[in-house]
Amino acid sequence: MEYNVGDGPQETFVYVEPAPLDRNNSTSPQPPPSFSGRHVKFFNLLTVPIELYWEQETKTSLVKVLRPLSTAGITAFVDHVFSFRLREVVVERFRVRADASNVFSIPLKVVDRMSQYYQLPERTQPQEESYQWLTKTLVYNDFYYNATGRSFLSRYGRLPPRHFMWPAEYVGQEHKVENWTLTVLSCAPRVFEVRDFLSSTEVEHLLHLAQHKELQQSQVSDNAAANGTRSSYNTWIGRRESPLIEEVYRRAYNLLQVPHTLDVTEPLQVVRYRQKEAYKMHADFGYPDPSHPEQPTRFATLLLYLNAVAHGGETAFPLCGDLRVRPEVGKAVLFYLQTPDGNMDEKSLHEALPVIEGEKWLANLWFWDPVKDVASLQ
């Protein structure tokens, strides 16, 4: 794709999603989404915090406060309206669209005028750097959206993922790693299942370790918006807690073909959902500080199901038809959070449906690209 973000014409590789194939190599249409929502990314280009509100007919509610020169992402429904407010004044309104990019900012041409009008502080040197990256990203997003039909949810200049990605050319395609088989459940996003990834001894061991720790109410990074988003409890299990756990990590690294030497994962997060508990639609990736040269963020999620749920509790991927994965003891599900050009994959939005009967136990293992750097997230 050719583009120009102000440094002269340039060319780059962008990922255009291929039509999925069926087993006979003929193209089959991508199933339509069963969810009328989108991932929405907001940019604050000002040197002061900006408040993001959700505007409903009868009330408005604060979603979050964006720090100066930062970005934030949320999941929202098409046609919902949001606003930026500065000193209680609405400075911009945005409507979530089904047929356009949902990357939103105060228009570039009014940033300076607005800064003067409100007598905002001048940009410091690090803020100036972030400002340059963010404005280039906004310009790049227009080119990217035209070429790919997707919003550019990464930062301009971010490299493609350094890690290997398994191809997903058709549903049912299989890849073998050691004694395990990755079976493609969806091509966009790339979702794979691996049955019997954990032995029953490993599952019992993980449950045993988790049950002996104190479970905490699950958190999400953006608290204000998240009230009611995630109702489960969880705890964390580090790699070195036992030889059996170390073996699970080793196998997971092999499954994804990522280097063992790098600190590419977070600790295992074991989650318990009781009846009615759920995790509403969300993205697992986050946004690093725009000035961070590596732009570290989550790259892939490996879900490990630790029990079979009597009723409910499926993991749903509603932006690729209505894929629902049923928990089964020892089953793993791998999905990528990025596309091969380093963009964040909006289609990886997913949801843990409410448990209707029984309990659900699951572990998340999050892989980072290039390496874990939680402190970089805004």
Ligand X SMILES: O=C(O)CCC(=O)C(=O)O
Return residues touching ligand X (CB under 6 A).
271, 279, 284, 303, 315, 350, 352, 362, 364
By residue count, the chain amounts to: 378
**Which of residues 142 and 284 has its CB atom nearest to ligand X in the complex?**
284
User: CB of 235: closest distance to ligand X in angstroms?
Assistant: 13
Q: In terms of Cα–Cα distance, which of 295, 271, 257, 243 is closest to 361?
A: 271
Q: Beta-carbon neighbour count of residue 153 at 10 Å?
A: 25
Rounded to a whole number of angstroms, the minimum distance from the CB of residue 364 to Fe ion is 7
CB of 218 to Fe ion, least distance (A): 11
247 is a contact residue toward Fe ion (CB under 5 A): no
Q: Which is nearer to ligand X, 52 or 352 (CB)?
A: 352
Task: Tell me which residue has tokens 């794709």.
Answer: 1
Q: How far is the CB of 282 from Fe ion (least distance, A)?
A: 6
Task: Find which of Fe ion, ligand X, none residue 184 binds, CB within 5 to 8 Å per kind.
Answer: none
Looking at the Cβ atoms of 124 and 219, the one nearer to ligand X is 219
Site map 279..308 versus Fe ion, x via CB under 5 A: -----x------------------------
Please answer whether residues 202 and 244 qualify as being in contact, where contact means their C-beta atoms are separated by less than 8 angstroms. yes
Nearest in space to 378 (alpha carbons), one of 128, 72, 156: 72
For the CB of residue 163, give the shortest distance to ligand X in the complex, in Å. Answer: 19
Q: Which is nearer to ligand X, 291 or 364 (CB)?
A: 364
**Between 81 and 329, CB nearer to ligand X:** 329
- Residue 106 site contact among ligand X, Fe ion, none (CB < 5 to 8 Å, cut-off depends on kind): none
- Residue closer to Fe ion by CB (options 46, 74) is 74
How many angstroms separate the CA atoms of 268 and 280, rounded? 20
Half-sphere exposure of 307 (CA within 13 A, CB side): 21
Which residue, judged by CB position, is nearest to Fe ion in the bound state? Answer: 284
Crossing angle for the helix pair 243-256 and 200-211, to the nearest 10 degrees: 120
DSSP letter at 257? T
User: Of these partners, ligand X, Fe ion, none, which one is at the site of residue 362 (CB under 5 to 8 Å by kind)?
Assistant: ligand X
Asked if residue 204 lies in contact with residue 242, where contact means CB atoms within 8 angstroms, the answer is no
- Residue 315 binds which entry of ligand X, Fe ion, none, with Cβ cut-offs from 5 to 8 Å by kind? ligand X
- Give the bridge partners for 182, in sequence order: 175
- In the complex, minimum distance from the CB of residue 312 to ligand X, in angstroms, rounded to a whole number: 11
Record the tokens describing residue 241, joined without a space.
């807690």
How far out from the chain centre does Cα 145 lie?
A: 19
State how far the Cα of 78 lies from the Cα of 96, in Å rounded to an integer.
5
Binding site for Fe ion (CB under 5 A): 284
